[in-house]
Amino acid sequence: MSRRVALVTGGGRGIGLGVSQALAAAGFDLVICGVREESAVAEVMRALAASGAAVHYVQADVSKADDRTKLIAAVRARFRRLDVLVNNAGVAPSVRADIMDAGEESFDRLIAINLKGPYFLTQLAANWMREERQADQAFAGCIINVSSISATVASVNRGDYCISKAGVGMATQLWASRLAEFGVNVYEVRPGIIKTDMTAGVVEKYDKLIAGGLLLQPRWGSPEDVGKAVAMLARGDLPYSTGQVLMVDGGLTAQRL
């Protein structure tokens, strides 16, 4: 099979859907996972397939070891190859709580889904990509972690989220260092304020901040903005930049006087 294959976790909604759409447009076949039933994403899958991509959905929770194993096995069974892994699946705290009062349950949940899941899914994918490289020295794999500006921008009412994303930043460096010898580039994309269902509850807050000059580019980001960045990396447009972080934040983190 000549078409390259990308696995996108959480690829059926929000930022993940923007990524899936961009990869399909770039000529990739797709495996998408999510926690919802397949019937809930059927329309999305049909739309992606209409763009010319072969699309396969797997119901899987990346925080669970058995589901991660099932997911990789499903990619093998359907396509027999994996060129790109996009670790996108993630959650925000159910309740934003001051770190002076926040409990352990939310912390454990976010670490499991946002950090532990992608870390060990990367391990599975990396070992397969190493096999692919040993079988074909022309193989060039790619792993892209979609994190957040919260990896470095502190929000004291969601410390668990910030810590999980900061961990993804170090994971990016670790896997880039470990996988370079196998021709696998590893990148991190850090979105800023992106309009999705995850940010639906804070629209008024961020509308005011954006109007007040928070961003250099005074608008909400979109899943399509992130998708374009991921597709660029997946295509190999930055081949000499493994381990790097690409900010998609409208200039929010640019230092200013």
Buried b (16+ CB within 10 A) or exposed e, 48-83: beeeebbbbbbbbbbbbeebbeebbebbeeebebbb
User: What's the length of the chain?
Assistant: 257
Q: Is 161 a catalytic residue?
A: yes
| Contact in structure between 68 and 79 (CB atoms under 8 Å) | no
Contacts of 63 (CB under 8 A, 6+ apart): 112, 113, 116, 117
Question: Choosing from 57, 119, 161, 187, which is the catalytic residue?
Answer: 161
Structure tokens at 223: 């899943």
- The two structure tokens encoding residue 193: 């304020």
CA atoms of 93 and 75, how far apart (whole Å): 30
Name the amino acid, one letter, at 2. S
Burial of 100 (0-12, 13-18, 19+ CB in 10 A): exposed
Q: Which residues are catalytic?
A: 161
